A and B are shown apart, each in its own frame.
Chain A
Amino acid sequence: MIGAAAAMAGLEGTGVIIHGASACYLYADSVIPNPLNCTYLIEDEVIFGTGDRLLEVSEALLPFSERIVVINSCVPATIGEDLRAYCAGCESLFIDAPGYCGDMMDGYRVALAALSPEVDSTRDGVNIDGLISTDPFAVGNRMEAERLLARAGIPVAARYCNDTLASALRPSAMTVTALPDVASGIGQSAGSLLGLDAIEKTFSVLQDAMPDADCAPVMDICEETEELVVKVCDRYLRVNDPPRVTLFGIAGYLDMATDLLTTYLDAEICGAGARNQPQEGSVCTWAPDLGTVKRMISSGKPDLIIGSRYEATLAPGVPFVQMTIPIRKHSMLCHRPLIGTEGVLWLIESVVNAGIKGC
């Protein structure tokens, strides 16, 4: 439900209604920066029908929305009412995204599949996929992807999901992916922008597909970035042992981070616990609950943890890099990327600075 709501609310012009209880909405509202609405269902409506509540909210939202999107949470999806007559006379998009049918990433993909954009072969540029607003790096990732594409002279087409609804409904033919875990499959994939190797491969594909593009500047940036990384990591390793690292977060990011840390810092990876189901070939194991997280930290005995405030709480005193939600206590205001060359630089910078004390 959260993933579906994040996808649809990221498209300007949608009026997103979470059809469910206040608690479902309140959590969604706390992690999704875009406007959301809710039917605030109570017991009576579950027994006697939820249509009237949906109609009330739809009518209020319709004047401000190009399209109403109704996201069913667990109970409405289970009781299975036909609600099409209760959307203020407009053709709404209904998305069944109950929590019991998958995780946030599944919900995100289900929503985009329901939106079913059709490729517009006349549209120039490349789509950016894999921008889920619950990810604190999503805006930074979008900006970094736009920067790299601009350096190659490639215009940006649709952004999933950080765009207008009209733009999202007519993507161009080719797509680059910020976070593969939420790749929608819209357009032909040129690859991802996670890590230096992936960036180079992706821009090679783009160069072949788009003769007017000039991807050489991006290749130069990758080379310069690697030089900086090698230099700072070598300096670190001259006076430190390689770190023993346990990582938690979204699998795609963890794969990128483990590759960087083992390549440039000789790091020992004690564990990589993914919040979502890792894709085939991932180094991650699925760690969906705090019990698993505790066991991984306890058995790995890391001297660096990359993850969320949960892991920082469970291992006080262990140097820590924040790479996923929840954040708590700290604020994250600037739009940092985790993709692209700036993402690589931020991650390495954060790791080598994590254990430094004093000025």
Chain B
Amino acid sequence: MGVLSVSAFLTDAVTLVHGPDGCTHINTSLLHTTLSEHDIFRIPDIVSSGLGENEIIFGGEDALHDALTAVCSDDPSAVIVASTCVAETIGDDVAGICSQPWDCPVIHVPSSGFLGGTFTDGYNSALSCLTSLITPGKQDLNKVNIVGEKNLEFEVEDNFQEVSRILEMLGLEVNIRYVRDITVSDIKRFKDAGLTLFREDTEGVLGRHFHACTGIPSLPEFPVGLAATLAFIKDVGRLTGRDSTDAVCAEEERQASLADEFSDLAGEYMTFDSFGFQSAEMEMFVEVAEAVGIRVSEEGTVIPVPFCMPVGTLGLQRMLRQWRRFVDG
């Protein structure tokens, strides 16, 4: 699913899942469900190599070869091949089949369902493997790549708009959104940018790979928090060789206005409750609470920590509105 959350957004490519039909159905269905919730009603091109019992016993490489032949005959811009748990268990040489000469780029993304990885591993793996489509370019310090947007995140477009707003304050434009609703030829333009922004790569897994492939400097994550947003603006300015003083001042004013907008929350008591994988211990919550005059106390209104962290000042504004709804509710 991590692979599909990337490959399904390469609009002129086909994703081939090497496994039983059921695996493709399950993943396509889950993807379709999630996209429908985001009011995206298209169905990505995902096909199956259709492994059956015979292939599990005698090997599935012929089935993969046949499926690739059929998919390539439709002349897609690229084929991304992802394998599944059972294909990895029986040990099909998926990389070997994919490396044979084909009529279009065939990119094998190492993935194996629950064997050897999580959703994030598949997602990182897909982003890394697709760099093979990047061609030489001339770095332009006015352009920025956005890498690894969380395509299944409900706020994905909102977060992109917020980062774009910050970039515009510095006179920068987005080169490509890698990989969100782009084509294979768009990826070829990757090296036209002077900076790469990762959505969330705090451990540097993607950063190291992309730096080795492109040599473009990067920042590891979208900004989360008041101080982090200001630091983000300064870092972007520094890495693109421009003065960020005015942009930082403008953002400080915007952040100061949050205290006015949410002055009704000043003096309220709140406490933060972990939700899912998130941690209520993040300093950002206390930072925002103090900026607005909220008192953090265990006796206060329980605020669930958002599943996805708010991006930029706009994200904080939306989060504070939610806090207000909890207080009022």
Q: Do A and B come from one complex?
A: yes
Enumerate chain B residues within 8 angstroms of A46, measured Cβ to Cβ.
89, 115
| Chain B CB within 8 A of A115 CB | no
- Specify the main secondary structure of chain A where it touches its partner: helix
Cα-based distance from A143 to B28 in the complex (angstroms): 32
Instruction: Decide yes or no whether A228 CB sits under 8 A from chain B.
Output: no
- Contact present for B33 and A288 (CB under 8 Å): no
Q: Which residues of A contact B53 (CB under 8 A)?
A: 98, 100-101
Q: Flag if B41 contacts A313 (CB, 8 Å).
A: yes
B234 at the interface (CB under 8 A from A): no
Q: Does A332 contact B (CB under 8 A)?
A: no
Q: Is B42 a contact of A43 with CB atoms below 8 Å?
A: no
B114 and A43 within 8 A (CB) = yes
Q: Out of B20, B26, B48, name the residue touching A27 (CB < 8 Å).
A: B26
Known: A43-B115, A99-B23. A21 touches B86 (CB 8 A): no
* CB-based contact B33/A1 at 8 Å: no
Q: Are B22 and A1 in contact (CB under 8 A)?
A: yes
Of residues A22, A78, A99, A326, which shows the largest number of chain B Cβ atoms within 10 Å of its Cβ?
A99
B43 at the interface (CB under 8 A from A): yes
Is the contact region of chain B dominated by helix, strand, or loop, or is it mixed? helix
A98 touches B27 (CB 8 A): no
* Interface residue? B52 (CB, 8 A): yes
Cross-chain contact A21 with B21 (CB below 8 angstroms): no
Residues of B in contact (CB 8 Å), total 35
Q: When the two chains form the complex, which single residue of A26, A100, A329 contacts B86, counting CB atoms closer than 8 Å?
A: A100
- In angstroms, Cα B117 to Cα A23, docked, is 13
A310 x B32 contact (CB < 8 A)? yes
- Is A290 engaged at the interface, CB distance under 8 Å to the other chain? yes
Q: In angstroms, how far is the closest chain B Cβ from the Cβ of A108?
A: 14
Known contacts being A21-B113, A99-B20, is A75 close to B43, with CB within 8 Å? no
Contact A78 B21 (CB under 8 A): no
Task: Tell yes or no: A82 within 8 A of B by CB.
Answer: no
Question: Is the beta-carbon distance between A100 and B114 smaller than 8 angstroms?
Answer: no
Q: How far is the CB of B19 from chain A (nearest CB, A)?
A: 8
Please name the residue on chain A nearest to B74 by beta carbon.
A291
Does B32 contact A78, Cβ atoms closer than 8 Å? no
B267 touches A (CB below 8 Å):
no
Contacts of A75 in B (CB 8 A): 85-86, 89, 114-115
CB distance from B67 to the nearest CB of A (A): 11
Give residues 3-32 of A contacting B (CB, 8 Å).
21-24, 26-27, 30
8 Å CB contact of A74 from B29, B32, B85, B116: B85
Distance of A297 from chain B, by nearest CB (Å): 12
* A21/B48 contact (C-beta < 8 A), A74-B20, A99-B22, A101-B53 known: no
How many residues of A are in contact with the other chain, CB < 8 A? 34
Query: Residue A354 at the B interface, CB < 8 A?
Result: no
A42 at the interface (CB under 8 A from B): yes
Q: Which residues of A contact B200 (CB under 8 A)?
A: none
Would you give the 0/1 interface string for A282-320, flagging 1 where the beta carbon is closer than 8 Å to chain B? 000000111100000000000000000110011010000
A93 at the interface (CB under 8 A from B): no
Question: Which residues on A sit within 8 Å (CB–CB) of B55?
Answer: 100
Q: Is the CB of A288 within 8 A of B114?
A: no
Residues of B within 8 A of A78 (CB): 56, 86, 89-90
- Picked from A23, A41, A288, A310, the residue with its CB within 8 Å of the CB of B43 is A310
Question: A30 CA to B22 CA in the complex, in Å?
Answer: 14
B30 within 8 A of A: yes
A230 at the interface (CB under 8 A from B): no
B1 contacts partner chain A, Cβ-Cβ < 8 Å:
yes
A79 within 8 A of B: yes
- Provide the residues of chain A in CB contact with B1, threshold 8 Å: 23
State how many angstroms separate the Cβ of B65 from the closest Cβ of chain A. Answer: 18
Known: A98-B86, A101-B53. A288 touches B26 (CB 8 A): no
Kindly identify, within residues 99 to 118 of chain A, every residue whose CB is under 8 Å from any CB belonging to chain B. 99-101, 103
Chain B nearest CB, measured from A99 CB (Å): 3
A289 B43 Cβ-Cβ under 8 A: no
Residues of chain A lying within 8 A (CB to CB) of residue B141: none
Q: Chain B residues near A27: list those with CB within 8 A.
A: 26, 29-30
CA distance A310 to B113 in the complex (A): 24
Residue from the list A21, A43, A291, A316 in contact with B47, Cβ < 8 A: A291
Q: How distant is A216 from chain B, measured CB to nearest CB, in Å?
A: 45
B85 touches A100 (CB 8 A): no
Contact in complex: B86, A74 (CB < 8 Å): yes
| Closest Cβ neighbor of A291 among chain B residues | B47
Do B86 and A23 have beta carbons less than 8 Å apart?
Answer: no
Residue in B closest to A311 when the chains form the complex, CB atoms: B43
- Chain A positions within 8 Å of B84 at CB level: 74
Q: Complex formed: what's the CA distance from A151 to B141 in Å? A: 79
Q: Determine whether B51 belongs to the interface, using a CB cutoff of 8 Å to chain A.
A: yes
Residues from chain A with a CB closer than 8 A to the CB of B24 are: 289
When each residue 1-23 of chain B gets 1 if its CB lies under 8 Å from chain A and 0 otherwise, what string results? Answer: 10000000000000000011111
Chain A contacts of B33 at CB under 8 A?
Answer: 30, 326, 328
B110 → chain A closest CB, angstroms: 13
Nearest residue (CB) in A for B14 is A291
| Chain A to chain B contacts (Cβ below 8 Å), 19 pairs | A23-B1, A24-B26, A27-B26, A43-B114, A43-B115, A43-B116, A46-B115, A74-B85, A75-B89, A78-B90, A99-B21, A99-B86, A100-B22, A100-B55, A289-B21, A291-B47, A309-B36, A314-B43, A329-B36
Give 16 new A-B contacts, CB below 8 A, not counting A75-B89, A78-B89: A21-B114, A23-B1, A23-B30, A24-B26, A75-B114, A78-B86, A98-B20, A99-B86, A100-B51, A100-B52, A100-B53, A100-B55, A100-B56, A100-B86, A310-B32, A326-B32
> Which residues of A are at the interface with B, using a C-beta cutoff of 8 A?
1-2, 21-24, 26-27, 30, 41-43, 46, 74-75, 78-79, 98-101, 103, 288-291, 309-310, 313-314, 316, 326, 328-329
